[in-house]
């Protein structure tokens, strides 16, 4: 059995009796004022509270390097022996954090072994678009000339991947931003598909084409929280405004009536 917990933003925690694997862990939840105007840094107390068993983390996989996906990664990696997998932009961030050479920089669609029971294919993907045709937010790479702590605007997107994690024979596809690249996705199937909610209506054929191509038996809608507000453990998840969750649930059920659609609360474990 694999226990999967959505931990806020695009963060997922996968746990077996042997190990923990994290995708896009982000526990600091910087508030909107600091995001806009200040240099931002990981919050050690928030990370320690959310990840008390940090020594069990075998690997961290990062889909892209916006701050809500990557801010906490150097802090966690510095205190663990875990593997770190991601883009060239993530390697730059890790170097700025004093961990040069620690990141396994992936090529498009490269498959890597993480542990004896886990592997990941880093499917090249795309980031969700801003409204009014304004393109990708914070496009480009984190600059090697930056210094930490840096402003949220320094956390450029880097290469975007949709990690396909295979753990104990089950396949989990993490779509951490509401977009995809059909060419690179072709031929990849999963058991559980995690779909980013915000911005979903700006991507044509989302989620229909993703579901048709990857043929999941479960779809989990996530990244819908207002991650600039704190989350009270056990409490209700505060939603981001204007995300049209009912519309996405309807669209998902419409194209795949037999698929199990879940909308988890932050911190509520799901067993697969
Ligand atoms: Zn992003």
Taken in order of first residue, the domains within the chain and their CATH numbers are: 3-267 (3.60.15.10)
Q: What is the mean pLDDT of the chain?
A: 96
pLDDT score, position 7 = 98
161-167 and 150-151 as β-strands: parallel, antiparallel, unpaired? Answer: unpaired
Ordered strands of the 83-86 beta sheet: 103-105, 83-86, 57-61, 20-23, 11-15, 3-8, 270-271
Share of the chain above pLDDT 70, in %: 100
Distance 136 CA to ligand 1 centre (A): 9
User: What average pLDDT does the segment 133-153 reach?
Assistant: 94
Q: Give the Å distances, CA to CA, from 128 to 64, 85, 136, 160, 168.
A: 12, 21, 7, 10, 30
Distance 124 CA to ligand 1 centre (A): 14
Distance 1 CA to ligand 1 centre (A): 30
pLDDT score, position 135 = 87
Distance 187 CA to ligand 1 centre (A): 25
How does pLDDT run across 164-211, given as a tens digit for each residue? 999 999 999 999 999 999 999 999 999 999 999 999 999 999 999 999
pLDDT score, position 134 = 79
Distance 64 CA to ligand 1 centre (A): 7
Distance 10 CA to ligand 1 centre (A): 9
Q: Which pLDDT band holds residue 37 (cuts at 50, 70, 90)?
A: very high
184, 77 contact by CB (below 8 A): no
pLDDT score, position 131 = 81
Distance 4 CA to ligand 1 centre (A): 21
The 8-class DSSP code of residue 240 comes to P
Residue 25 has pLDDT above 80, yes or no: yes
Which residues are registered as beta bridge partners of 85?
A: 61, 104
Q: Which pLDDT band holds residue 38 (cuts at 50, 70, 90)?
A: very high
Residue 133 has pLDDT above 90, yes or no: no
Distance 258 CA to ligand 1 centre (A): 30
Share of the chain above pLDDT 90, in %: 96
Distance 177 CA to ligand 1 centre (A): 6
User: What average pLDDT does the segment 4-23 reach?
Assistant: 97
Residue 132 has pLDDT above 80, yes or no: no
- The total of other beta-carbon atoms located within 10 Å of residue 139's CB is 10
Distance 126 CA to ligand 1 centre (A): 10
């Amino acid at each position: 059995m694999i226990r999967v917990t959505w931990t806020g933003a695009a963060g997922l925690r996968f746990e077996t009796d042997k190990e923990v694997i994290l995708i896009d862990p982000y526990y600091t939840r910087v508030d909107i004022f600091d995001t806009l105007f200040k240099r931002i840094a990981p919050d050690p107390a928030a990370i320690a509270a959310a990840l008390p068993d940090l020594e069990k983390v075998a690997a961290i996989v990062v889909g892209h390097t916006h701050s809500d996906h990557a801010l906490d990664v150097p802090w966690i990696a510095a205190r663990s022996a875990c593997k770190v997998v991601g883009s060239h932009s993530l390697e730059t961030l890790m170097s700025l954090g004093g961990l040069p050479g620690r990141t396994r920089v992936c090529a498009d669609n490269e498959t890597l072994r993480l542990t004896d029971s886990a592997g990941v294919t880093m499917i090249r993907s795309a980031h969700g678009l801003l409204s009014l045709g304004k393109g990708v937010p914070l496009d480009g790479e984190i600059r090697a000339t930056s210094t930490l702590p840096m402003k949220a605007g320094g956390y450029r997107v880097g290469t975007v991947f949709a990690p396909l994690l295979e753990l104990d024979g089950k396949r989990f596809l993490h779509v951490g931003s509401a977009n995809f690249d059909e060419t690179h996705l072709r031929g990849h199937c999963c058991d559980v598909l995690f779909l980013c909610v915000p911005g979903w209506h700006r991507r044509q054929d989302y989620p229909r084409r993703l579901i048709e191509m990857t043929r999941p038996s479960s779809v989990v809608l996530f990244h819908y929280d207002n991650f600039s507000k704190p989350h009270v453990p056990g409490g209700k998840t505060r939603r981001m405004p204007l995300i049209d969750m009912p519309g996405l649930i309807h669209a998902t059920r419409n194209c795949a009536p037999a698929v199990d659609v879940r909308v988890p609360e932050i911190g509520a474990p799901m067993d697969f």
